[in-house]
A and B are shown apart, each in its own frame.
Chain A
Amino acid sequence: MAEERRFRSASGARIALRRRQHSASCRELAVRGPRLQLRSLSAATSAVWLAAYGLFALSENSMVLSAAIFITLIGLIIYLHFVKIDQESLLVIGSLGIQVTSSYASGKESTTFIEMGQVKDVVINEAIHMQKVIYYLCILLQDPEDPQGVSEVVPLFQSSKPRLDCLIEVYKSCQEILEQRKTAPQSS
């Protein structure tokens, strides 16, 4: 079963949270950011080409124009493949682990899987960034030597930066599954 709700990110952009329950112990939460707008793409391209045409008018060298086209293409490819994140999703499988996926605009997906044995807890932290206080969801990893200690903090949804209301929904969903591992009886 899938449901989708609209929220806003920390900078005011519209984002959508989609929740899917695959089974009793498996849930997928995906936050989709705003897509690449045609307006901003056209504006950037026009600015670069106007500047190139101005340089060409000054220097009478046609290499400037071809260089500008080349730069625009390469810049667009780099932006789509390495910078623009379309969707960030969290797949929580009780007793296996938590998988964090970022999908880029060019279709590339970068995934990290954290085993359940390493996960201590999932919490909402607050951070002071310039003049704002922003909330972010993070996974606390267990320190192997010290059972009470935290070895690493893995922040989630870093590029879409949802606000607290969206984070609370995600937090509740995660905690429902994480609690199952505490109440599950140990195998004999």
Chain B
Amino acid sequence: MVLKVFFPSCCSSADSGILIGRWISEQNSAVILAVVHFPFIPVQVKQYLGEVQRVTKVSVSVLGSWSNSKQEKEESLSEFLEDLGTIFCHEPWIQISKEGDSKFWSCSTLQKHSKNPQEEEIILVYYDQRKVMLSHLHPPLDTAGQGAEDASKLSAIFDTVARSRVLFMTDRYDEGPIKLTHWQSDGVEASIIVELMKQASVPACMLLTFLLSLVSGICRSRVLKFWPLSFLWSKLSTCEQLGHRLQHLQVISSNKKAQNQNQLMRKANIFVSLLIDVALGILLMSWLYRKNRIGHLADTLIPVADHVAEELQDLLQWLMGAPAGLKMNRALDQVLGRFFLYHIHLWISYIHLLSPFIEMILWYVGLSACLGLTVALCILSDIIALLTFHIYCFYVYGARLYCLKIYGLSSLWRLFRGKKWNVLRQRVDSCSYDLDQLFIGTLLFTILLFLLPTTALYYLVFTLLRLLVVIVQGLIHLLVDLIDSLPLYSLILRLCRSYRLAAGVKFRVLEQQDGKPLRLLMQINPLSYGGVVQTYRLPTYSFYPRDSWASLCKKLFLGELIYPWKHKGEKQN
């Protein structure tokens, strides 16, 4: 069987000593964590290892000996090292020796109780201890639910190094009896900024929790739950987005420490996402208020609304004439056209009534952009919805009229053929009608049929306009969704410290020499950007189409009202 020795590259230049680490017998591999230098007392070493084992729950033991002779090879040293094998009994006892500055080390094992004394092949795998300790292995999604026994070999190695963090806390300036060499033995790393932030985060979290409880208390009060207000809140997407962000803030400001990697990354992603959102919002706000652009915007809003209303009037005049060469029923045409024109007239008057207040309203509403770019986009979407309210009304009128017509037509068609809809049995049954019923029914059927093109044309035009508005709103919400769900912290981590997010490892074959063990370098293979986004995507109250294309077309044909976007939390009807 091949013996695999995972050697940390930081210990390559360490002085002679004994190797400590973990022996994984199922895989016949030894993960070396540190080198203990002479002089040491074996009893103290065993005590220390026992303590480490208790704290980290990793079975650390003495695995072998390491000799780094800068001069000639000393015979007495090699015998001494072999004798150590009897003090720290471990099967198999690994002996690695390095001469001078040679790259090629000799590695041998001592087996006392082996049944077959043949030489087994040894593979020496170098690994970067710091990177492996900090890295988080992402298993493929289908094996994510496996138990500990099925854990892959690599995850066992990563696990061993990650859990032995406490072993790396002693450096060579410590006054203990044991002198170790590992990646931090030249001095334990720490950062003042990180420590300060950790100290400052506790009171900051408490303050944030207090403020959030106040805000959510206000939101939950009975005053805001009366019928007109609650209806308004449910329709405005700004409130939805604000509620979502409030939830995020609650997640960040909770006092519980994150249990595992996923929760930690989630918290960090939410924090960075909020920060960037607010920063972009403040940038937008400063741009809007700089040269009184918001005043200019308010000034152009009324002319734009007027222009839209005028275009609609032209459209209706066109429909009342002979649109696209089709011949409409003149009377119905005039009625519908005048009805809608009157509505537009009402709408224009309403807008002109509001015009002195628009600038002030917009100025104050624009201030709320400091809550985030997503909030600003949601406000934009709501403003569009409010400004195109008349299009929505026209769509509802046209759809209802068309729907009534279609149902009337289908029912009278059944009458024409002598059939009836049986409500009890939910099917079409034959029925004998009186002569006058048939007469009136057929007359009405003919009237409705010949009036169909006019109504259908109005319905078509207004449905297209409504769909246009819906598509624009949908695009804005898609953008908001993207900003909400993008895991920015993970992406930046993948860019700057790519070894933290590992999809696997890669091996590189180093120079070989005959007779010496195979030398490999194990490097971390980082997760791809697509994998990062997929794994760490933040959940959102996403907007997605409620109906499939087929049912949408059916609804359009029958004239039923369509509400194409569905929130995640809405009940199915």
Contacts and interface: CB of A to CB of B under 8 A. Distances in A.
Interface of A: 22-26, 28, 91, 93-96, 99, 101, 111-113, 115, 117-118, 144, 151, 184-188
A169 B506 CA distance: 24
Q: Count chain A CB atoms within 10 A of each CB in B146, B150, B517, B518 and give the residue with the most.
A: B518
B525 A115 contact: no
A116 B63 CA distance: 25
Contacts of B1: 95, 184-187
B25 interface: yes
Interface string B1-37: 1101000000000000000000001101000000000
A144 B146 contact: yes
Contacts of A115: 152-154
Interface string B504-521: 111101001000011010
Nearest to B143: A144
Contacts of A186: 1
17 contacts: A22-B509, A22-B512, A22-B518, A23-B518, A24-B121, A25-B121, A26-B509, A26-B518, A95-B2, A96-B123, A99-B507, A115-B153, A117-B152, A117-B153, A144-B146, A185-B1, A187-B26
Contacts of A22: 509, 512, 518
B571 interface: no
B116 interface: yes
A113 B25 CA distance: 22
Contacts, number: 66
Contacts of B26: 187
B115 interface: yes
Contacts of B146: 144
B150 A144 contact: yes
Contacts of A112: 504, 525
Contact of B116 (A96, A144, A185): A185
A94 B154 contact: no
Contacts of B520: 93, 96
A34 B154 CA distance: 36
A22 B520 CA distance: 10
Contacts of A91: 507, 509
B121 A113 contact: no
A97 B128 CA distance: 20
Contact of A187 (B28, B142, B506, B525): B28
A141 B419 CA distance: 64
Contacts of A184: 1-2
A151 B152 CA distance: 16
A87 to B, nearest CB: 15
B119 to A, nearest CB: 11
B153 A113 contact: no
Contacts of A118: 152
B25 A187 contact: yes
